[in-house]
Amino acid sequence: MKRKLIALGAFGVGLVGSVHAQNSVTLYGLLDDGFVYNSNAKGTRQYEMAAGNLEGNRWGLIGSEDLGGGLKAIFRLENGFNINSGALGQGGAMFGRRAYVGLSNEYGVATIGRQYDALTSYMARYTAGGAGGDGVVASWAGVYGVHPGDMDNLGGTNRTNNSVKIDTESFRGLQAQAFYSFGNAAGNFTSNQTYSFATSYRSGPLDVGVAYDNVRDPNYALYGDNSNSNTATSTSSLNMSSPVYSGFASAHTLQIVAAGIGYQIGAFRLGTEYSNVQFQNIGTESGTGLNPGKLSGTARFNIGEINAIYRATPALQLGAAFAVTRGSSVGAISGAHYNQTDIGADYALSKTTDLYAVGIYQLASGHDSTGKVAVATIANLTASNNNKQAAVTLGIRHRF
């Protein structure tokens, strides 16, 4: 259970004051730890103790102040860390997961700070590696079950700095969100900017969503979001590390269009999600090591996923998903294909503690963004040295 700390407004000097609005602050967190087996980590088997296998470890503060007339001031500060070492996550940022402040009323919420964009916020729930919600276990396939390299960010790998987000309340099942991030580049308003829009409709068992995301200078604006990232765009080194797309780091724009459908049938939840990811105008952004292949043009990826969740008992949930990623040719690079299967089981010991087991298998073909023969690259694991890779993770998660 989340621990709530309720405090009345402070009295004035000399204990003389008037009635103050009510404030509330909630301390919350999540601890996730376990073991991971990688069948091929550059040619060898790997067994490791790893943290944050389903969801990243965190603690945070969320609060609100009643300003009267239905208006509230709200905030969130969320820290990420490694439970096994105690090290800060997100490149060492104190509140690297999220940090924002804003206002809310009966019509919606407006916030500013470091946040997820609209596409991630609305579309992650349609995938095995994203947040499930609606009574099902969130992120049942975990950080390894996301699409290759989490290139559509539905696993929430990257956050966006300097952002403004407006989210409407649900009106007869319809809800929408608009998002904008300031690039903060002197003399160029659009440099490093991000804008994103999303909408969803929920009615009974049906859940439908669509979203659009546009990121200028993605090597910096999206993948350079951590405090240890190289943020000098004119001489920047590579922030995009996955070979699935690292060869496209000189792209001027990253554009993502996504759509998803979920449908509840008794104990089953069926889902499907499609993402079109484009690294546009490759070769436009200069910088050390950003375009070693001297590429130009646009790299396109089409990603399709189908998934199912079955609530076998009130405590036991089973999940399965299959995702296909198809990359287009760019110059002499033929483009890579990745087929991935996720299966998982989650057993709730209580409302706040659960045990999980997840298995993932990926098969690759073609040539990746670096021009090399594509190898299997399960997200957040050491890549294989051939076209096949399997992973198994076992662990425990506790929320407070």
Full 3-state SS string of 30-84: EEEEEEEEEEEECCEEEEEEEECCCCCCEEEEEEEEEEECCEEEEEEEEEEECCC
Q: Is 183 left (phi over 0), alpha (psi -120 to 50) or beta?
A: alpha
Query: What distance in Å separates the CA atoms of residue 324 and residue 119, rounded to the nearest whole number?
Result: 20
Identity at 237, one-letter amino acid code: S
Give the Cβ contact number of residue 109 at 10 Å: 17
Nearest one of 28, 30, 108, 119 to 76, comparing CA atoms: 28
Residue 7 is predicted with a pLDDT of 37
In a domain, 191, yes or no: yes
Nearest one of 27, 48, 38, 96 to 392, comparing CA atoms: 38
Residue 147, domain CATH: 2.40.160.10
Contact indicator for 349, 397 with CB cutoff of 8 Å: no
Residue 247 is predicted with a pLDDT of 94
Residue 133 is predicted with a pLDDT of 52
Query: What distance in Å separates the CA atoms of residue 339 and residue 328, rounded to the nearest whole number?
Result: 15
Distances in whole angstroms, Cα of residue 41 to Cα of each of 44, 48, 303, 308, 375: 5, 11, 25, 29, 11
Q: pTM for the full model?
A: 0.90
Residue 187 is predicted with a pLDDT of 73
Residue 41 is predicted with a pLDDT of 97
Counting the structural domains of the chain, the total is 1
Residue 136 is predicted with a pLDDT of 52
In a domain, 326, yes or no: yes
Residue 11 is predicted with a pLDDT of 31
In a domain, 392, yes or no: yes
Ranges of residues in the chain whose predicted pLDDT is under 70: 1-21, 131-138, 227-228, 231-236
Identity at 387, one-letter amino acid code: N
Q: Rg of the chain over CA atoms, in angstroms?
A: 22
b/e for 169-179, b at 16 or more Cβ within 10 A?
Answer: eeeeeebbbbb
Strands 71-80 and 98-105: antiparallel
243: containing domain: 3-11+23-399
Look up tokens 């580049």; give the residue.
Answer: 185
- Is the Cα dihedral 28, 90, 275, 375 positive or negative? negative
Give the whole-number percent of the chain exceeding pLDDT 70.
Answer: 91
List phi, psi (to 5°) of 222.
Answer: -110, -55
Distances in whole angstroms, Cα of residue 346 to Cα of each of 28, 307, 395, 399: 22, 15, 10, 14
Nearest one of 292, 366, 294 to 327, comparing CA atoms: 366
Residue 362 is predicted with a pLDDT of 98
Query: What distance in Å separates the CA atoms of residue 177 and residue 159, rounded to the nearest whole number?
Result: 16
Per-chain mean pLDDT for the chain:
90
